[in-house]
Amino acid sequence: MAPTIYRDSLPVRDPYWTLADYLRLADHDSSRVRFWVLDRMEELELDIPTDRLRCWLDDADTSVAVATARLIGDRGLVALADALLTRLDRAEDGVGVACAVSLAELGDQRFVDALRRRGNVAPTDRDPRVWQALSLARTPEATDLIRRALATLSPRGEASVASGLETTLAVAEPASGVPLVVDRWLGAEGEADGDVLLGSLLSLLDFPGGAEELRDGMRSAPVSDEAGMVEDILDVLAETCPLGPIGELRGACRRGKWARAIENIASLADALVMRTSSGEHAGFALSLVRTLGARGKRLAGSAGKGQDAVGLGLLALQRIDETVREAELSIPETSEEQFRWLLDDAASAYRFAPLYVMDRLRSETPTDACKIPKIPGTPYLSLGRLSAVRPSAISWLCC
């Protein structure tokens, strides 16, 4: 009997539940049972027959159908792309939008035309995952749909919808999308709308919180024994950046000279970028720093936004520094050396390299040995692609 394999553990032989046993419950009258069967088969990484997935994609229970669409994308089941497209063509409901996201993850661009045909739907009435799918496509046609939706919104108000559209455009096309987000944030009349837009930028930098948490981190805390966010980031940057500009930035932050601090951040970003010619740095973080730098005086003169902009810039600068460090890293050649490096303290200084090493080790691990789990929802990685991976989509898994 073939073993069933848990994601995070050794292969486990289960004489009580086999693939056939689960499939016997696949058409159970209770949707809770059907969902449990699907979830369990996914957890055990069993090879679910494509015909069964097609049936579940049309399940009467939305949760079952959505989970099926997501699984198809996660597993890269290109053979089911037509089924996903058919379901999307039927309706742009929760299931249809999940199908669009999975088609984007599969690299099947036909979903863009399907969404374009529904262009008469107002952006406020569309599921936000529509824009997520279009941003994943990263094609001129997909970007054009996001731009058209943005053009229908007024320059003021509708912050939640605008933030979703503009951040997806910032991901798909940073050079043009980031300035749109920053300008709308600058022009926000109400604090609540401004904080929504600021929060959308923070989410793209994987900051664990919103506007208030950023301000808490930026405030000096003389009564605290712990360094604040500014000091933490600058201490790390001092390992790779010129100490003179780091000192100037530190002093500008302490004195509340936000325009000067933004200028220093922009110059430090340029210094970091010059250390690598790979081009991997040229993404959202760099576009954000340069956009903030070009608007430094306006930001500093806007009530409260100068400090917020410096916080954003520091987080983006930290991301650029991490990307440059990854590009300069030499991964050990042999599997044994890679495993030792992974367990060493030095690996903790990198965001993505340990994931790359884990994925390489997993692909080289014999099936009867300790199973290193694949990162759920991500393709097999190459070190050159790591800066495009969103850390929020990654789980730290151990063998």
What is the pLDDT confidence band of residue 392, given thresholds at 50, 70 and 90? very low
Helix (DSSP H) and strand (DSSP E) numbers for the chain? 21, 2
Q: What is the pLDDT of residue 329?
A: 72
Angle between helices 229-237 and 243-255 (to 10 degrees): 170
pTM greater than 0.85? no
What is the pLDDT confidence band of residue 277, given thresholds at 50, 70 and 90? low
Q: Using CA atoms in the order 108, 279, 172, 353, what is the torsion angle rounded to 10 degrees?
A: 70
Provide the mean pLDDT of the chain: 79
Encode pLDDT of 181-210 as tens digits.
888 888 877 788 888 888 888 988 888 888
Instruction: Answer yes or no: is pLDDT of 6 > 70.
Output: no
Instruction: Answer yes or no: is pLDDT of 223 > 50.
Output: no
Q: Report strand pairing: 11-12 vs 4-5.
A: antiparallel
For residue 76, give the nearest of 280, 290, 366, 376 by alpha carbon: 376
Q: What is the pLDDT of residue 395?
A: 28
Angle between helices 174-187 and 159-172 (to 10 degrees): 160
Check residues 172 and 84 and name the one with the higher pLDDT: 84
Write the DSSP symbol of residue 125.
G
**Residue 29 CB coordination number (10 Å):** 6
The partner residues of 4 in beta bridges, in order of sequence, read 12
